[in-house]
């Protein structure tokens, strides 16, 4: 296993790791658990989902041969489609920064349908065809599973916590009084 292989295999985890670090630092100043969850949701939406997907859009558009080689696939027009699917996720991630909790769950589910399907495809290629390319296994599997899952889990946790602390009848788009 070469250093280049390890770098390519782990690279998909860099943006989520930076996102977690930023959210951790920023949420230290939060006064309530709900405020802390809101910070984490915004950081995850914009950082991991938004910028992570935008990065994938740019790499698939500008370096399709490299991306095909990293995944272990031949270069096909499908790479162009992957780029624009990721652009859609980027737009949804940036939108989620100001979205309601319900919208955030929906955005996570939308991203999950593609990314979890991609995970199944990566695993199939691994077991059926022996595709051990760094972009087919390793960090990409973790990233494809966690990006939407964390988005959904943070929003669901915030919904439950909000229901516990918010006055009855408070609309979801209004902040909970301290």
Distance, in Å, from the CA atom of 37 to the CA atom of 44, rounded to the nearest integer, reads 10
Is 175 a domain residue? no
Residue range 85-110, pLDDT digits in tens:
999 999 999 999 999 999 999 999 99
Percent of the chain with pLDDT over 70: 92
User: Average per-residue pLDDT in the chain?
Assistant: 92
Distance, in Å, from the CA atom of 123 to the CA atom of 132, rounded to the nearest integer, reads 10
Is 3 a domain residue? no
What pLDDT is stored for residue 114 in this prediction? Answer: 95
Q: Which residue has the higher pLDDT, 60 or 3?
A: 60
Q: Which residue has the higher pLDDT, 28 or 163?
A: 28
- Tell me if 133 sits within 8 A of 74, measured CB to CB: no
CA quadruple 25, 26, 29, 35: dihedral sign: negative
Dihedral of CA atoms 136, 91, 149, 25 in degrees, nearest 10, equals: 100
Residue range 123-162, pLDDT digits in tens:
999 999 999 999 999 899 999 999 999 999 999 999 999 8
What pLDDT is stored for residue 82 in this prediction? Answer: 95
Please state the domain count of the chain: 1
At residue 173 the predicted structure's pLDDT band, cuts being 50, 70 and 90, is low
Region 111-116 average pLDDT: 96
Distance, in Å, from the CA atom of 37 to the CA atom of 2, rounded to the nearest integer, reads 39
Give the domain range for residue 125.
9-165
Is 160 a domain residue? yes
Is 59 a domain residue? yes
Q: Which residue has the higher pLDDT, 26 or 73?
A: 26
Q: How many C-beta neighbours within 10 Å does residue 65 have?
A: 9
Contacts of residue 125, defined as CB under 8 A and 6 or more positions apart, other chains included, come to 72, 131, 136
Give the C-alpha distances (Å, rounded to integers) separating 157 from 5, 52, 88, 165, 176. 37, 23, 25, 13, 15
- Tell me if 54 sits within 8 A of 90, measured CB to CB: yes
Distance, in Å, from the CA atom of 167 to the CA atom of 6, rounded to the nearest integer, reads 50
Is 170 a domain residue? no
What pLDDT is stored for residue 118 in this prediction? Answer: 95
Is 176 a domain residue? no
CA quadruple 167, 169, 172, 174: dihedral sign: negative
């Amino acid at each position: 296993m070469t250093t280049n292989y390890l770098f390519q295999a782990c690279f998909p985890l860099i943006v989520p790791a930076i996102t977690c670090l930023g959210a951790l630092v920023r949420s230290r100043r939060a006064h309530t658990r709900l405020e802390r969850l809101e910070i984490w949701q915004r950081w995850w939406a914009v950082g991991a989902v938004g910028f992570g997907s935008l990065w994938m859009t740019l790499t698939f558009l500008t370096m399709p041969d490299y991306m095909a080689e990293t995944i272990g696939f031949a270069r096909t027009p499908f790479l162009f489609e992957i780029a624009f699917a990721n652009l859609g996720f980027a737009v949804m991630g940036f939108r989620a920064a100001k979205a309601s909790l319900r919208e955030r769950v929906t955005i996570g589910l939308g991203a999950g349908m593609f990314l979890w399907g991609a995970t199944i495809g990566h695993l199939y290629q691994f077991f059926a065809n022996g595709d051990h390319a760094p972009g087919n296994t390793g960090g990409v599997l973790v990233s494809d599973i966690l990006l939407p899952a964390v988005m959904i889990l943070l929003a669901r946790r915030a919904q439950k916590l909000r229901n516990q602390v918010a006055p009855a009848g408070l609309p979801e788009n209004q902040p909970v009084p301290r």
